[in-house]
A = this chain, B = another copy of it.
Amino acid sequence: MITKTVDVKELVEMIAKNARQASRGLATLPPSVKDGALLKMADALEAEAEKIKAENALDIEAGKQNGLSSALLDRLLLDDKRIKGMADGLREIAALPDPVGEITGMKKRPNGMMVGKMRVPLGVIGIIYESRPNVTADTSALCLKSGNAVILRGGSEAIHSNRVIAKILSTVAEGAGIPENAIQLVPVTDREAVKELLKLDKYIDVIIPRGGYELIRFVAEKSTIPVIKHDKGVCHVYVDKDANIKMAEDISFNSKVQRPGVCNAMETLLVHEAIAAKFLPGMIAKFNDAGVEIRGCEKTCAIVSGLVEATEADWDEEYHDLVLSVRVVEDFDEAVDHLADHGSGHTETIVTESYHTAHKFLNCVDSSAVMVNVSTRFNDGGQFGLGAEMGISTQKLHVRGPMGLNELTSLKFIVYGDGQIRE
């Protein structure tokens, strides 16, 4: 046991050191070298599809033996279509503008020196993720394009798939002029490896955990490295008294039903008391038709009979499923208080025709995306025009909301002087 611990520690430290070394070269690579490598990596994934599928079959087989649900097995599965999807993802990232080196805000100071900021890579990014093996390809590409070295630590359930994908990508990248060790996968999947990784703030600049609540708590508690969390999404639609009823129905329905298993789907519907009797019966009938289970507050249950009554716990729940809690609020302030008390700071939308109320909502609500008259489902890197995303940050530090290439960089000050000294 002790021997094993020491080995994991040494292994992880070596990986981190190598990544740091690679990051130095990566930071100043010309865009053409990075984009050329990405295109070759995409081609290689398609060319090696048979090999990837063979390794993936081992994970699927193990998953079946371990009793994974069919939903999880489906997330794990790689077929030709999904492999092509990964490759196309890499090609799209290659086509995006390079974020590194952009200089902004250059201004002249009273003593004549020019001060501004230059966009630079973060350095070394550690990604800790679960299940879906396409994350291995996506995140490697986003990190490479933004000039960062990446350390990948996927889950045990996808280890064979992750290994073969990482191997193909890193081999092709090196052949295309990317520094050695720019893309590395931690080959062991026990928690010990993660624990050791999280101590290496000397070499790793940021940890991005992508997965369930347990994983994210574990990382936040153990890490001495700054973390960007992709935490849970308890998203809300608030139907204001001045809402257009048809629009409120469409937006509420889309936010809940279009894809209930994702983080930007609605979990709780808030309805202003003054419109509740007019809005809720039709809305809930529509939800019932779509198989959505409704859990209503007392007032909701008084308006529509036969509903399950919501408990306190429902207001904090991320169902990830065709379940919706509904609460009638007295006024705007009660809605905003509910969001502050129960929201996870992910996505909230208001439906209203009132200029004043829309303006107030945008200013008062503290979430990564605050929206007027659109579905919560739009809080997404692609939909927001970022091109590709690394997850949705639910914390306030560094970045909030969808993280694209710019969000994987940092800004350093640069100064052009001419001999200035301080008096």
Q: Spell out A's residues near B (CB within 8 Å).
A: 24, 27-28, 101, 107, 109, 113, 115, 118, 120, 122-123, 201, 205-206, 220-221, 224, 226-228, 244, 247, 250-251, 253-254, 258, 340, 349, 362-364, 366-375, 377-379, 383-385, 395-402, 410-422
Contacts and interface: CB of A to CB of B under 8 A. Distances in A.
Given A410-B397, A412-B400, A417 B372 contact: yes
A214 B296 CA distance: 52
Contact of A340 (B24, B122, B378): B24
Nearest to A345: B412
A203 to B, nearest CB: 12
A290 B181 CA distance: 47
27 contacts: A27-B363, A27-B366, A101-B363, A109-B383, A109-B384, A118-B363, A123-B366, A205-B397, A226-B396, A226-B397, A250-B421, A251-B421, A367-B412, A368-B413, A369-B414, A369-B415, A372-B416, A372-B417, A373-B418, A373-B420, A374-B421, A375-B421, A378-B420, A399-B411, A400-B411, A400-B413, A402-B413
A229 to B, nearest CB: 9
Nearest to A375: B421
A366 B122 CA distance: 9
Contacts of A221: 224
Nearest to A336: B24
Contacts of A206: 396-397
A370 B413 contact: yes
Contacts of A383: 109, 422
Contacts of A417: 349, 371-374, 378
A373 B414 contact: no
B224 A226 contact: no
A123 B395 CA distance: 11
Contacts of A226: 226-227, 395-398
B422 A378 contact: yes
Given A367-B412, A400-B412, 16 more contacts: A24-B366, A113-B378, A122-B397, A206-B396, A221-B224, A226-B226, A226-B397, A228-B397, A349-B415, A368-B413, A373-B417, A374-B415, A374-B421, A396-B410, A397-B398, A401-B413
Contact of A412 (B366, B372, B411): B366
A220 B228 contact: no
Contact of A224 (B205, B220, B251): B220
B220 A123 contact: no
Nearest to A107: B385
Contacts of A414: 362, 369-371
